[in-house]
Amino acid sequence: MNIQSSLSGKKILVAVTGSIAAVKAPILVSRLIKAGAEVKCVVTPSSTKFILPLSLSTLSRNKCYQDQDQWESYQAKPLHIALAEWADLIIVAPMSATSLSKFSSGSADGLLASILLAAQSQIIVAAAMNTSMWSHQSVKNNWNYMKTIEQVICLEPSEGLLACDRFGEGKMVNLDIIELASESAFCF
């Protein structure tokens, strides 16, 4: 089965958090669009230090949502509920330590955190952070908890040279793996 056949027509929400790996998000969005998916994007405030929402809007052909959009008066339904209900699949790539902490603790602080709590669809999280952060016990506790949530597909970071010039675990997995996880999410 090829990616085109399994993702074609699927509604995928791509969420980008504050990690240097955010620079890979536009490529992921482009690949999902080419596979036939309908894509919308959400960015956290810290992710916009690495990428522009305009890039994601242009590639997805949809508005890229930010925290300030959450409570706009023109919306008939709260945005976090509308996006959570719209999505057949949510991909958080990269998942920073901050966003991991919010999600694992049930925090609804911000648009993305609220979407993740309201979601009924499967959620793929691809962690990416500095090696020391990834190995910190609190992050490990949060990650281990995430792995117990049936709705969540956890993609651990790979080992390699990080943006901070350290070598170790912390790199976001290859986009091919994220695409494969997306494809497999629709097989069950």
- The encoded tokens of residue 179 equal 């695409």
Q: Is 112 left (phi over 0), alpha (psi -120 to 50) or beta?
A: alpha
pLDDT tens-digit series, residues 64-103: 999 999 988 777 889 999 999 999 999 999 999 999 999 9
Catalytic annotation, residues: 164
Which residues, including other chains, have CB under 8 Å from residue 177's CB and lie 6 or more apart? 155
At residue 188 the predicted structure's pLDDT band, cuts being 50, 70 and 90, is low
Angle at 188 between CA 11 and CA 39, to 5 degrees: 10
pLDDT tens digit sequence for 115-151: 999 999 999 999 999 998 999 999 999 999 999 999 9
CA dist 22 and 2 (Å) reads 26
What's the pTM?
0.94
| pLDDT tens column, 15-38 | 999 999 999 999 999 999 999 999
